[in-house]
Amino acid sequence: MMPISTKGVLGHFCEPDEALAAAAKVRDAGWKHFDFLTPFPIHGMEEAMGQKRSWIPWATGALALGGILFAQGLQNYVMVFDWPMNFGGKPFAAWPSFVPITFEAMVFWAALGSALVAVIAGKRDTVPQPPPMLVETGATVDRFALWISATDPKWNAAEAEAFVRSLGAHGVRLVDAEGGNDA
């Protein structure tokens, strides 16, 4: 029996390719609560991990529409109702002159809003139990760490450890709440 405080199993790879190949194997073996800690984003990792497409583009689209409505509403209110002014004999609601502001507001809302949504979603959407901080400092430099959380439905500490080792990972170990070794 492993101690109750076990949070998960950790191992690392030295090449992004190996991490990518391992991710597909972890996914195919049916693990759900796992994550990779890598120094840089690896192309194709979402797919290899079996993650669904992000819903953030929908937020971007909604924010873009919001920016358009905001800019159109503001310009039409100010330029037509609140303080109409004559510019070069153009109509008050001169739509071509509203286009640049509408475009800029759309980009501004969509870009800043998406960044904000991504930060909030990134905090929420990780594995139910991420590894303790600083458990694998190499993951910020040159290592590609695999983490399988003990919350996984098919969790069994001995099996999980053996599985990660079978992937060819280095430094495989069970980790407790303080980030120390269990074994």
Partner 1 sequence: MSHSHAQPLPAPPGRLTLPAPVRGLAALLAAAGAAALAWAFSRGETGLAWSAYLIGAFFALGLGVFGVAWLAILSLARGDWAVTMRRPTEAMTAWLLPGGLLTLAVGLGMHSLYHWSHPEVVATDALLAHKAPFLNPAMFWSLTAASLALWALFAARLVAISRRQDREGGIAASRATRTLSAVFLVVFALTFSAVSFYLLLSLDAHWFSTMFAVLVFTDVVQTGVAFLAVVAGLLVASRKLEGFLNENHLHAIGKMVFAWTGFWAYIYFCQYMLIWYANLPEETVYFLRRADNGWLPYLLVLPLVKFAIPFLLLLPRAAKRNPRVLVPVSGLVLFAQFWELYVMVGPAIGHGGEAAHGHLPVVELAVTLGFLGLFTLVFGWALARQEAVPLKEPALAACLDYHA
> Where does this chain bind partner 1 (CB under 8 A)?
15-17, 20, 42-44, 53, 57, 88, 96-97, 99-100
Residue whose CB is less far from partner 1, 81 or 87 = 87
In whole angstroms, the minimum distance from the beta carbon of 138 to partner 1 comes to 17
Q: Report in angstroms how near the CB of residue 123 gets to partner 1 at its nearest.
A: 24
Q: Across the chain, how many H-helices and E-strands are there?
A: 5, 4
- Smallest distance, partner 1 to C-beta of residue 84, A: 18
Give 34's contacts (C-beta < 8 A, 6+ positions apart): 26, 49, 127, 146, 147, 148, 149, 152
Which residue, 41 or 153, has its beta carbon nearer to partner 1? 41
- Angle at CA of residue 130, ends 26 and 138, nearest 5°: 80
Pairing of strands 6-13, 144-149: antiparallel
Judged by beta carbon, residue 89 or residue 153, the one nearer partner 1 is 89
| Minimum CB–partner distance for residue 90 and partner 1 (Å) | 8
Nearer to partner 1, 20 or 135 (CB): 20
Distances (CA, A) of 9 to 37, 81, 142, 156: 13, 64, 19, 10
CB of 96 or CB of 153, closer to partner 1: 96
**CB of 171 closer than 8 Å to CB of 12:** yes
Question: Torsions phi, psi of 152, nearest 5?
Answer: -60, 140
2 in Cβ contact with 174 (< 8 Å): yes
